[in-house]
Structure 1
Amino acid sequence: MPTRFVRTTRSLAHDRGRRALLGFGAAALLLAAWLTWFLFGQVTVYEVSRQARLEVQQSAHPVAALVQSRIASNALVLGQEVRAGDLLIELDAQPDKLKLKEEQSRLETLLPRIHSLRKEVAALAQAAAREHAAAQAAAQGASSRTREAAAAVDFARENERRLREESAIGGVAQIEAVRAQSETLKLDAARDALAAEQRRLSTEAEARAFQQEAQVESLRRMILSMEGDAQAAESTIARLREEIDRHQVRAPVGGTIADVAALRTGAYVAAGQKLATVVPHGGLIIVGEFAPAAVLGRIRPGQAARLRLEGFPWAQYGMIDARVVRVAGEVRDGLVRVEFEPAAQDAPRLPLQHGLPGSIEVGIEQVSPAQLLMRAAGHFDMPAPAAVVREMAAQ
């Protein structure tokens, strides 16, 4: 009688389990390899910021109006290359310009008047010196005449005494003695008159000197007053020039105008209103904004990073390698700023320029998959497997 399933029976008779053993062995090897990688392997942990962008090394400078006024002229053109100090917008400063012209005219009239008064003071000083010299000469002459009169008086008195003595003994007539006495009195009166004239000349010279000194002092007070007015005018002119200069909006740095407000000539702007943005020339850096818990104590200078630009698929254009150069120590608007230095551009098709947004990932540490699993489970980091093996070997 024929047997059913002859081939199956024959196959079971020849099967000794080698294939099964080989399968189980391969599975065991794969499991061992996976466990080895799971416990001892190292993977890189990344922190990612989707608020990253390219910026110039020097911060972009906003251009704002310093005063409230009307736009008189506007030379802003988007993309224009400017140098530091170039005039971009001129605001209306006509009232200040008129006041400046008035103060300048006032100063121009004060300075010649001050110069003229100084010359007058110098002339009066020279006249006073010459008049003082003339008064001294006149006083010397009066003194000499007074001494001459005194000498004549002395001679007359001596002559009177001698005549009186001779008249007493009858040598001369009595009338001669009387005449000598009269001459003495006349010369004595002349001497007194000359002395009085000398005092008058001295008093008049002093009075004229006081008058001239008072006049000079009055002129000096006028000069000081005018000099004060001139200094006030100069200060007002300087203030007005500064105020007029505040109406001229100039480029703070050299660079490219990257943003322009839509303002026409005649439009009014407020003080502090942003009118444009100037992006300075220079190298580019990468700036990323991270949550404080992801940055503080974890991201440090020197760590490697990679930037992916939005609008340029990384599979086609590649990524930009970078490294951390600076980490902010303070939180601003709930985020921490981290600056990166891009490596030499290895993706030449990427048009790198200021303002390009993207996302950046920073490698912060190397851990095993087991540690990652424990972290995901909400546990603390377990010791590294290698350290556990060393402890067990030591025991």
Structure 2
Amino acid sequence: MDTGSIAWAVVATALVLLMTPGVAFFYGGLVKAKSVVSMMMMSFGALALISVLWVLYGASMSSVTGLWDFSGNPLTDLGLTNLAAGETANTDLLGSAFGATFAIITVALISGAIADRARFGSWMLFAGVWATVVYFPVAAWVWGGGWILHLGTVLFGEDSTTAVIDYAGGTAVHINAGAAALALVLVLGKRTTFGTVADKPHNVPLVLLGAALLWFGWFGFNAGAEWTNDLANVGLITINTLGATAAAIIGWLIVERVKDGKPTSVGAASGAVSGLVAITPACANLTPGWSLLLGIITGAVCALAVELKFRLGYDDALDVVGIHLVGGLIGTVYLGFFATGTGLFLGGGLQQLTLQMLAAGAVLAYSFGVAWLVATIIEKTIGFRLAPDAEVAGIDNSVHGESAYDMAVRETV
């Protein structure tokens, strides 16, 4: 492989890794000042834990040899010893590192739903178990040779050229994380202040910084895998990642202006993230114009979807469900209509739409079910939810013994 492609793989891996601190800033700015350390620690904790699990056995689980295998054997290459000794170790290890960054951010995304009320140790336990029994197998199904990758030939015959499209993680990352987030909020319940006081972001510039880092890193997220394809589609992926995200900001702000009278900077940041989510599965299979339409639809729909928690009574603190689950579903299903050459409205039939809906529904149901079961077991045994008095006092001091801002007045001598 040429050195330029290898260099891009290193850069893309670093870009995607940077997205997890970006999530930490984005989520940290959205919560109360007394919760920001806890919120950011959940992302950094996921970064540390999932990295270790990936090297130990996650990479081995994320590819399969049989179509209906649940996952790869976690004991096949403990610690990536064999991979590191192979003739193509240089590129193999680089590809594994790139895959690890996807696992990390998928887990980190879930944490925003349970802001202000989750114990750190319980969160880390959940993160490790969920990654092991949900993310690693789902990654194998979608990208690692599993049944979702081959669903087209399973349903429509060996001659079928139509396959599930999920270039960078509409199902494996965003629907997966969003469904788990929904399960967690149902198990942990509402915050003590939910619906009684306005939960305003404590630091809007931090939110915008986080969204900017996410957008920056997302070019590695979407275009990174092109290093194995001689960068053949990197131009299309790059312009789609730019255009859909920008259009989603506009869609979100229009809804805000009509609904609330004022477009907000937090709305712009949230709109950007929703657009990034939607274009993730679709970045290599839409023309730029259809990407713009996807973005503006997603921004508008997600701006409305985040309000559902008040109507339906579930406390998704930082709108993981409204942005990642809804945005992931829109981006995944949209391909059934507008994927170049195979979409229903662009020369294809119902096959692409059928595949997209089945894949999305299967991942949603599996992730939700397992997350609910794991979270329930943790809550009933060691406890997942923070005590109400500790929540009111502030989770940063209660759990970490720290505060984000030292407000004490210091005397100078």
Larger radius of gyration: 1
Same fold (TM over 0.5): no
Report the TM range for the smaller structure's normalisation. Answer: under 0.3
Which one has the bigger strand percentage? 1
Larger helix proportion of the pair: 2
